[in-house]
Amino acid sequence: MQHATGIASSHSKSAKHKANHLALSRYLETELAPVVVQAQPDIEADPPSERNRDELFVYPWMGVVANLPTEWKDGKYNDKLHQKYNDEILKMQQTAKNHFQRICQEHNKVKSELDTQRQELERRREELEKREAQNETERNKLAEEKLQ
């Protein structure tokens, strides 16, 4: 209904388009408005059945928490699943630590190689400068000899 009346009163639509929507809106007002559609009666939900008071529900669901069986040994609870979880976490941490150490070692190795190459380049640069100076002095000597 809102769509039809909105298009019928629009200034940007063509006359034919507006006429069709105006006719539709009038039809809806005259023919369908008197007919009252009865909504379905609300159905009462069954009351929740008796449930264990220890059960807790959380919405939205984030995960499932269960009471895991544990055994009491040596003054503490022995939970096999929890122990497996801890072992897996320790394994992941050790793997990450080893990976980080390997990266650091490779970084230090590459850094020392770069330092060695930088020193070698510096040594070669100094040697070339000496040779250029020697060549320049030799050129000057030759130029002086030609003038004499």
| Of 43 and 55, the one with more pLDDT | 55
Q: pTM to 2 decimals?
A: 0.38
With residues binned 3-state (H G I as helix, E B as strand, rest as coil), the percentages for the chain, rounded to 5, are 65, 5, 35
- Residue-wise pLDDT for 132-145, tens only, equals 888 888 888 888 88
Please tell me the predicted confidence (pLDDT) of residue 69: 62
Residue 9 DSSP label: T
Please tell me the predicted confidence (pLDDT) of residue 12: 78
- Residue-wise pLDDT for 58-76, tens only, equals 556 666 666 666 666 776 6
- Residue-wise pLDDT for 37-46, tens only, equals 544 555 554 5
Domain ranges of the chain: 1-34, 66-148
